[in-house]
Structure 1
Amino acid sequence: MLVVWCPDWPVTAASAAAAALPQRPVAVVTGTLVVAANALARFEGVRRGMRRREAQGRCPELTVLPDDPDRDARLFEPVAAAVEELAVGVEIVRPGIVAVPARGPAGYFGGEEVAAERIIDQVATRTGAECQVGVADGLFAAVLAARRGLVIAPGATPEFLAPLSIRELHRPAEAQDRAELVDLLRRLGLRTLGAFAEIPERDISARFGADAVQAHRLAAGREERPPARRAPPPELTVTEPLDPPVERVDAAAFVARHLAERLHTVLARHGLACTRLAIHAATPAGEERERVWRCAEPLTPNGIADRVRWQLDGWLRDTRLSAGITKLTLTPVEVIEGTTLQLDLWRGEGRAEADERAARAMVHVQGLLGPESVVTPVLGGGRTPAERVHHVPWGDERVPAATPNAPWPGRVPPPTPATVPPVPLPATLTDPGGRPVSVTARAELTAPPAHLSWNGRRRPVVAWSTPWPADERWWTEPIHRTRLQLVVAESEKDSQTALLLTLTGEKWTVEGMYD
C-alpha cells in the first residue's frame, strides 16, 4: 500500500477556514480536549488529549480553533483528487490520509520512490498542502511509514515494525481506541511491536479478546483483514434519483441520512457489514464523481451518513460542477460477515425509526420541563462513585466533568459500588462494647468494629478492610476523609451486604452498596 499523509490535517483545515496565520501555534479543540496541534504548538508542550486550559497555560499565545469533521473532509477532497490524477484506486482512510495500491503508480513511474516524489509534488502544486508518502505491506504499516517518510521493501515490514513502540497500536483518530490494551501490554513488559508479535497468536486469543488478536496481526506486519473477502452481491447497491437536483449542503445531509439507513438495512438483511464504501454522484450535464472511503471498523449507519455528507459537501463546493447532483449511488466495495460484529441492543432493522421516536420524545419533555429534565450519565474522574458520574442534558456533548485518567489519590478502588445513594446515609459504627469506632492519625481503627447501625437497623459486622485516608479540596477548605469497606450480616440466613463507609470528622456515612 502507498499512503499519502498530510500532517496535522485538522489544524491545516481549521487554519485555512479561519485564515489563521500558519506561523502561530494552533490547536484544534473539541469540548475541552485538544485533538490536534501543529508543530509550533507541540514545541511549546501542547499534546493531543490535553485539556484546553492546560494547553493555554503551557502556550499562552496558542490559537484555539473548534473541531469540525465536516470541514476537514470537505477541504481534504482536493487532496484526494490530486492524488487520483496520478494513481487509480484512491481510498480515503480519514481526512488527512489516503491510500492506494502501490503497484500501479510504481510500475508507471518506474519505482516506488519516484512515485512518492511525484505524488508529493502533485499535492503541493494542486492544493498547496504538505504531505508525506509511505509504502509498506498493509495499511497499518504504510501509515506508520508515511509518518516517517519511508519506503519499506516488500517483505521487510515485520523488521520495520519490530522496534516501534507498542503505543502505535492506539489510533483514536482512526477509531482504533486501544488505550487499555496498550497500557496492559506495557505493564506486562511488552514495550515494542516486535515483542508483542513474538507471542503466539493462540496465547493472545486465550488471554485477550478479538481486538487484541487483530492488534497482534498488525504488530506482526500482517493484513488487518483476512485476504479472502466476500464479493458484495450486486443487489446491495442503493441508488437515489434526486429531483430537484441537490445543490445545498443541508439538502445533501438529508439525502445522506436516508441513503445510509437504506444501505445499512440491505446489508443487515444479508448478514453483512461494509468496510469500504464507494460514493458515486452524477449531474444533468453528464458529469460524474466517485470516491471510495475505507474504514478500519465496520461502518455503522451514522458512519455511512457522515462519509456521504462529507463527500457531497466537498463535491458541491467544487466550482467545476456545472449543476447540482441528480443521482447518488452507494456501493459497498468490501463487506465482512455481520456475525463478526458485536452489535448493540438497538442495532438492526428499524433502529433509525426507534431512535428518532425516542429522540423526539426526549426533546418534547425538555421543551415542557427544561433542558435539565432529561439527562445522560457520563462516567468521568473522581475519588468517590458519586463524583465520577456527571449528568449531561440530552443533546449536549457527552464530555466528562473531570479527566478520568488523572491519578486521583485516595480514590475508591474497583469494583465500583452497584448502588450509590444521592445523599450519603448517616451511620454509626461501634465496637463489641458499644463504643463508637473512629480512626487514628495513622489511619488505623481505634477498635475492631462489631456493629453498624444505618437505615434504621443494627447489623453485625462480618469483615472489614484497612482504612485509607484522603485529603480533599486542599486548595480551598481542606477536608480530611477516611474510607472503609466492610461486610455486614443481614437477618436472612447466609445473607451479607458489602458497604463503602466514609468518616468525615467523627461522623460515619454510607456512600455505596456493593452487589
Structure 2
Amino acid sequence: MTTYTRRVSIWCPDWPVTTARVEAGRGADDPVAVVTANRVVACSQRAREQGVRRGLRRREAQGRCPELVVLGRDEAAEARVFEPVVAALEAIAPGVEITRPGLAAIGVRGPTRYFGGETGVLRALSRGVADIPALQGADVLIGIADGAFAAEQAARRGMVIEPGESSAFLENLPIETLAPAGTSPLVDLLIRLGVRTLGAFAALPARDVLARFGPDGAWAHRQALGTDDHPVSGRRPPVEFTVTLDLEPPVDRVDTVAFSARGVAEQFVTDLAAHGLACTCLELQALSENGEETVRRWRHAGVLGVSDVLDRARWQLEGWLSGTNRPSGGVIRVVLVPIEVVPTGTHQQALWGGQGDEDERAARALARVQTLLGHGSVLAPVLEGGRDPGQRTRLVPWGDEPLPLRSPEQPWPGQLPAPAPSVLLDPPRPAQLLDAARRPVVITERGAMPSPPALFGTGRDLAAVTSWAGPWPVDERWWSPDDARRVVRCQVVDVHGRAYLVTGTMPASGSGEPPRWQVDAVYD
C-alpha cells in the first residue's frame, strides 16, 4: 500500500484583495474589487454579496455595487505582503512550498515530532500568523490531508482530514474543484457527460480515462482519487539542469536582478525543453554579499515558461529585499533548481505558424508586456463553437493553453453561414430597421418578414437598403426559461455599399411588438 505525504496547507482567500486593501489603507469591511485589464480578478466577500464576480468588466461590477472600491492589482506587493506568512511557516518547518502568494504548504512529518502531533502544529501555525499586521481582519484557513491536492482542498474548507481518509473527503466535492477558475475544457466536458463530483470521476476505470481524456485526464483522475502526490512523471531532475546567475557588483534593486535573470531563465527553460522536459516546481535560491540567503519552492498548476520563472523570481526578491528581514547587502547570486518536471509532449506551435527568430522576438516582447502590466494584459483569440460570430471567439491570456470551451467541430444548427464578418462590435449598437412605410420591420412567429427592410441606421440618419438576406431565426435553450433566447438575424447592405449583420431580439410570444434591432458586426 502506498503511503502519501501528509501536508499542511495555509490558504488566504482573496489574497489580491487583502494586499490591495493593505497597500491602499482601506478598511476590512469595504467592498473591494481588484482589476487587471479592466476586468475583476478578485473581490471581497462583501462585494460578492452585492453580485460582484470575477471576470466582470469594471463598469458592470460598479453597476452592481455602486460603493465598490476598485483597486489595481500589484503582484509584486502580493509577494511582499505574503513574506511574513512564509516566514511563519519556515519557523515551523523548512522547505516551504509556495503555489502562489496566498497559498503555501509544508510537510507535517518533521513538525509533528517537535510539536507533539498535528494539533500542536496547527496551534503553532495559528500563533505564528496571529500577529501579522496584513492578516488583521483577513481570513486565514489551515488544512491537513494526505497529498498536495487534498491538503489544498482541506485548507480551503479549514478542515483536518484523518490519515487515509482523503479519498472519502474528496469524493463528494464538485467536479469544478479540479479547475476553480472555471476555464478547464476537461471539466466542461465532464459536466456535459453527467460527471458532477470527484467521486463519480474517480469511480471510472483509470485505463478508460486515459484512453478517452489523455494524460491530462489521467492526472485529474489521480487527483480525484486523492492518490496523486506529485505531477505526472514527477521526478528529481539531474543537477546539470540547475542554472546560476552571478552578479558583480552586488545588486539591491528587484527590477535590475529580474532584468539580469532573463538570460538564465531562458537557459533554464530551454535546457529542459531540449531533453523533452518542462518544469512544474522549481526552487529559487538568492544569496546576498554578506551571506544572507532566501530559498523558496514555487509550484505551477501547468508548466513554467520564461515569464513564469521571472515572475516568481520577482515576487520572491520583492518580499526579501523589501521585507522586515531584508538582507544587509546586495544580491550576488541567483540559482534556479528544477524540483519536479514532466514530459513536454508536443511542442507549442509558433505564434503565426512556422518557426523563426521573428516568433521568438515577438514572444519575448509579449512576455515583457505581460510581466509589466499583468497576466491578463495580453490576450489572444481562440476559435470556439457557436451560432453567432460573438460566440465563436474568446480572448484568453497569452501563454495560457488556447483550448476552446465549446468545440468548433460540433454541429451548430442555425450557425451563421460564411463569409464571417470582419469587425465585431462590443457592445452591439442599437439600430433601426424600417420598412417602406417607415415602420419597424416585424418578424412573424413562423420567422417570416411581411414587409422587407427599406431603411437602416444606427442614429438619426437612415440610409436606404439596397439588398438584404434573411431572416434566420434562432431559438436557443427554449427548455430553460432563465436562459432562453429568441433572436432573428439579417444581413443588410445600405446605399453606401456597407454590409451589416443585424440581430433582432424577439418579444414575448403573442405581444405583436417588433423586435429590438441591433448591429452585431460589419462586413468589410
Matched-pair contact (CA < 8 Å) for 1:260–1:304: yes
| Secondary structure in 1 matching 2:53 | coil
Give the AA of the match of 2:311.
Answer: D
1:481 is aligned to 2:489? yes
Matches within 5 A, 1:432-511: 441-443=445-447, 467-469=472-474, 481-482=489-490
Which whole-Å CA distance do the structure 1 matches of 2:346 and 2:332 have between them?
37
Which whole-Å CA distance do the structure 1 matches of 2:330 and 2:113 have between them?
37
Match of 2:95 among 83, 86, 89: 89
Deviations 1:224-243 (A, max 9, x none): 53686433211111111101
Cα offset for 1:343? 2.5
Which whole-Å CA distance do the structure 2 matches of 1:267 and 1:91 have between them?
21
1:19 is aligned to 2:25? yes
Give the AA of the match of 1:152.
Answer: I
2:160 is aligned to 151
Cα offset for 1:258? 1.9
Match of 2:311 among 295, 306, 314: 306
Give the AA of the match of 1:385.
Answer: P
| Secondary structure in 1 matching 2:334 | strand
2:104 is aligned to 98
Which whole-Å CA distance do the structure 1 matches of 2:420 and 2:200 have between them?
43
Q: Which has the higher contact order (CA 8 A, sep 6+)?
A: 2
Aligned pair count reads: 421
Cα offset for 1:27? 1.3
Which whole-Å CA distance do the structure 2 matches of 1:124 and 1:423 have between them?
54
1:258 is aligned to 2:263? yes
Matched-pair contact (CA < 8 Å) for 2:232–2:342: no
Give the AA of the match of 1:87.
Answer: A
Q: After superposing the two structures, state which structure 1 stretch, 94-103 or 290-299, moved more.
A: 290-299
Which whole-Å CA distance do the structure 1 matches of 2:416 and 2:262 have between them?
39
| Secondary structure in 2 matching 1:232 | coil
Match of 1:204 among 202, 209, 217: 209
1:420 is aligned to 420
Deviations 1:169-189 (A, max 9, x none): 1133xxxx6543333323333
Cα offset for 1:288? 1.5
Give the AA of the match of 2:145.
Answer: A
1:66 is aligned to 72
1:218 is aligned to 223
Cα offset for 1:202? 2.2
Which whole-Å CA distance do the structure 2 matches of 1:415 and 1:382 have between them?
7
1:163 is aligned to 172
Cα offset for 1:322? 0.7
Cα offset for 1:4? 0.8
Give the AA of the match of 2:220.
Answer: A
Which whole-Å CA distance do the structure 1 matches of 2:203 and 2:98 have between them?
32
Distance 1:301 1:128, change over 3 A: closer
Match of 2:48 among 42, 53, 56: 42
1:237 is aligned to 2:242? yes
Matched-pair contact (CA < 8 Å) for 1:28–1:37: yes
2:287 is aligned to 282
2:62 is aligned to 56
Q: Could you list the runs of 5+ residues in structure 2 that have no partner in the other structure?
A: 1-6, 367-378, 399-403, 425-441, 451-469, 477-486, 492-500, 505-513, 515-520
- The alignment-based identity, stated in percent, is 48
Distance 1:416 1:219, change over 3 A: farther
Deviations 1:94-143 (A, max 9, x none): 11000111112222211112212211220222454242111111111111
Q: TM-score, normalised by structure 2?
A: 0.70
| Secondary structure in 2 matching 1:121 | helix
Matched-pair contact (CA < 8 Å) for 1:256–1:309: no
Which whole-Å CA distance do the structure 2 matches of 1:466 and 1:110 have between them?
75
Give the AA of the match of 1:145.
Answer: A
Cα offset for 1:360? 9.3
1:315 is aligned to 2:352? no
Which whole-Å CA distance do the structure 1 matches of 2:394 and 2:295 have between them?
44
| Secondary structure in 1 matching 2:93 | coil
1:135 is aligned to 2:181? no
| Secondary structure in 2 matching 1:122 | helix
Give the AA of the match of 2:15.
Answer: W
Give the AA of the match of 1:123.
Answer: V
1:249 is aligned to 254
Give the AA of the match of 1:16.
Answer: V
Which whole-Å CA distance do the structure 2 matches of 1:228 and 1:35 have between them?
32
Distance 1:9 1:469, change over 3 A: closer
Matched-pair contact (CA < 8 Å) for 1:275–1:294: yes
1:384 is aligned to 388
Which whole-Å CA distance do the structure 1 matches of 2:192 and 2:28 have between them?
40
1:10 is aligned to 2:10? no
Matched-pair contact (CA < 8 Å) for 2:17–2:32: yes
Match of 1:272 among 277, 291, 305: 277
Which whole-Å CA distance do the structure 1 matches of 2:386 and 2:309 have between them?
36
Which whole-Å CA distance do the structure 2 matches of 1:45 and 1:164 have between them?
24
Cα offset for 1:413? 5.0
| Secondary structure in 2 matching 1:208 | helix
Give the AA of the match of 1:296.
Answer: A
| Secondary structure in 2 matching 1:136 | strand
What is the root-mean-square deviation of aligned Cα atoms in Å?
Answer: 4.0
Give the AA of the match of 1:324.
Answer: G
Which whole-Å CA distance do the structure 1 matches of 2:224 and 2:339 have between them?
26
Q: TM-score, normalised by structure 1?
A: 0.71
Deviations 1:337-379 (A, max 9, x none): 33xx4431249xxx996445347999xxxxxxxxxxxx97576
Matched-pair contact (CA < 8 Å) for 2:388–2:415: no
Give the AA of the match of 2:112.
Answer: A
Matched-pair contact (CA < 8 Å) for 2:389–2:416: yes
Which whole-Å CA distance do the structure 1 matches of 2:208 and 2:385 have between them?
33
Matched-pair contact (CA < 8 Å) for 1:88–1:104: no
1:121 is aligned to 2:108? no
Cα offset for 1:295? 1.8
